[in-house]
């Protein structure tokens, strides 16, 4: 039981107030202490990882570096907290380069929304693992980062999976809750209609959103965004272009799966598949045989591949020192209570 609680609090679950797990909080604080501001030069990630390991987080360097990399990936985080310079991986699940090659510094959003007023005793500081330094027990967040970027983690007997959201929609929902503490879920949904995933896609239906926002658990169905392009009007020669994919979907694996289904003759009517994605955006071209109905092929793609997938919401965070499953209103209220406490201090 002691080990399970240690994993819950020390690694796997985020705090409902600043939305960060201990490793993320320590990375950001270490970068703040090193002076890696958004307008300062980049520094090697190995320097940051060494600082975190030596002073705050005595665990494996791989765990720290992987956490740092994720905070810099714009396909993993709706609003990245770290600026990365170098190879930080891709949506094809390519790994980041070794920490001795990559460089990083804080994003301006992180400085303004998570680290401002840290030196003004706005939050409690606690001794680090060997009592040689002090570290913040949480950061003085000005935004509900737990909803902004979401979180995922697996602990002992408990897990969390929170989707990311749009900043302006969260602010509007918070304003509505401040004006009327008895606001209903339906009224909050007018300001905050659903998650906002960094890789885009379309959310199918709102029953999953309603259930997740009400109880903290629910299944949200996400479908990739596609367009049908006409190649030859006379012969009805068309192609399906995938421009956005569901969150946490491996693009390379998706293309490979489609190719395998075509080779096995499970998917018919496809003559060619090309990944034309570049730094300007995603573009997977599925060229169809002449006379093939694109809607039939699309429906099979949704059914047989990850072009349509489900995001399982399980909104668990640490509140008042205890892990708790919370709905959207309770999460927003927890952040407002935290802000009131900061102002009182």
List CB contacts of 334: < 8 A, sequence separation 6 or more.
16, 17, 317, 319, 326
Collapse the DSSP code of 80 into the 3-class scheme (helix H, G, I; strand E, B; otherwise coil) and give the result. Answer: coil
Q: Where are the extended beta strands (E) located within the chain? A: 43-44, 82-85, 103-106, 125-127, 134-136, 151-154, 159-162, 202-204, 217-223, 225-232, 237-244, 270-275, 284-288, 308-314, 316-319, 322-325
Q: How far apart are CA 20 and CA 13, in angstroms?
A: 8
> How is residue 308 annotated by DSSP?
E
Is 195 in contact with 163 (CB distance < 8 Å)?
Answer: yes
How many residues in total does the chain contain?
345
Is 93 in contact with 250 (CB distance < 8 Å)?
Answer: yes
Tokens of 250: 């491996």
Residues with a known catalytic role:
101
């Amino acid at each position: 039981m002691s080990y399970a609680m240690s994993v819950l609090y020390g690694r796997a679950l985020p705090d409902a107030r600043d939305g960060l797990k201990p490793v993320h909080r320590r990375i950001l604080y270490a970068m703040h202490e090193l002076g890696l501001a958004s307008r300062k030069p980049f520094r090697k990630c190995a320097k940051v990882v060494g600082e975190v390991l030596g002073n705050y987080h005595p665990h494996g360097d791989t765990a720290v570096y992987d956490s740092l990399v994720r905070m810099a990936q714009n396909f993993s985080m709706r609003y990245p907290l770290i600026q990365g310079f170098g190879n930080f991986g891709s949506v094809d699940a390519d790994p980041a380069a070794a920490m001795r090659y990559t460089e990083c510094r804080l994003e301006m959003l992180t400085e303004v929304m998570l680290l401002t007023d840290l030196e003004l005793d706005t939050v409690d500081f606690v001794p680090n693992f060997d009592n040689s330094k002090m570290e913040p027990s949480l950061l003085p967040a000005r935004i509900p980062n737990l909803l902004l970027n979401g979180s995922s983690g697996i602990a002992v007997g408990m897990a969390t999976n929170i989707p990311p959201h749009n900043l302006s929609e969260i602010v509007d929902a918070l304003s509505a809750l401040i004006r009327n503490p008895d606001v209903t879920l339906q009224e909050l949904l007018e300001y905050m209609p659903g998650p906002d995933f960094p890789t885009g896609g379309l959310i199918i239906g709102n029953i999953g959103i309603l259930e997740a926002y009400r109880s903290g658990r629910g299944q949200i169905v996400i479908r990739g965004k596609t367009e049908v392009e006409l190649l030859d009007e006379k012969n009805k020669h068309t192609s399906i272009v995938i421009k956005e994919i569901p969150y946490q979907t491996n693009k390379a694996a998706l293309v490979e799966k489609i190719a395998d289904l075509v080779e096995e003759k499970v998917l018919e009517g496809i003559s060619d598949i090309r990944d034309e994605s570049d730094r300007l955006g995603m573009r997977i071209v599925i060229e169809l045989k002449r006379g093939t109905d694109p809607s039939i092929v699309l429906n099979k793609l949704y059914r047989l591949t990850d072009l349509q997938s489900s995001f399982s919401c399980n909104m668990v965070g640490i509140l008042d020192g205890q892990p708790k499953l919370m709905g959207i209103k309770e999460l927003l209220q927890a952040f407002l209570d935290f802000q009131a406490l900061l102002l009182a201090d």
